[in-house]
Amino acid sequence: MQQLSPAKGSSGMELLEADGFVLQSFDTPTGVKFFVTAEPDAKNLDLVLREVYTHYADFVLKNPFYEMDMPIQKGGRFCQKLDKIVDRIQDRR
């Protein structure tokens, strides 16, 4: 395995800041990676991603019929929670 990060022992990128956007990542304990892009002045994206993961764990991983790498059901409870998070964030602006 080859090290891509200039920092020894780094597990990878967590935040990329550009002129027009930021890209935040979150590596979950289950090995799933979540990413969010936002405007450069967006705050607390790491907390948003942790909240998304909490809902993912509650409504996707705990579903006895879900198998890893299966598409997530559109319109399901996880997607509904995700929509509420996005609406809440947009209302703050």
The verdict on residue 1 lying in a domain is no
pLDDT per position as a tens digit, 32-80: 899 999 999 888 999 999 999 999 999 999 999 988 888 988 889 999 9
**Are 28 and 53 in contact, with CB atoms under 8 Å apart?**
yes
**Are 47 and 25 in contact, with CB atoms under 8 Å apart?**
no
The verdict on residue 30 lying in a domain is yes
CATH for 62: 3.30.450.70
- CA gap 93, 91 in Å, rounded: 5
> What domain range includes position 87?
15-92
The verdict on residue 86 lying in a domain is yes
The verdict on residue 52 lying in a domain is yes
Q: Which residues pair with 26 in a beta bridge?
A: 34
Q: What is the pLDDT confidence band of residue 1, given thresholds at 50, 70 and 90?
A: very low
Phi, psi of 16 (to 5 degrees): -120, 120
Residue from 24, 68, 16 nearest 49 by CA: 24
Q: What is the pLDDT confidence band of residue 91, given thresholds at 50, 70 and 90?
A: confident
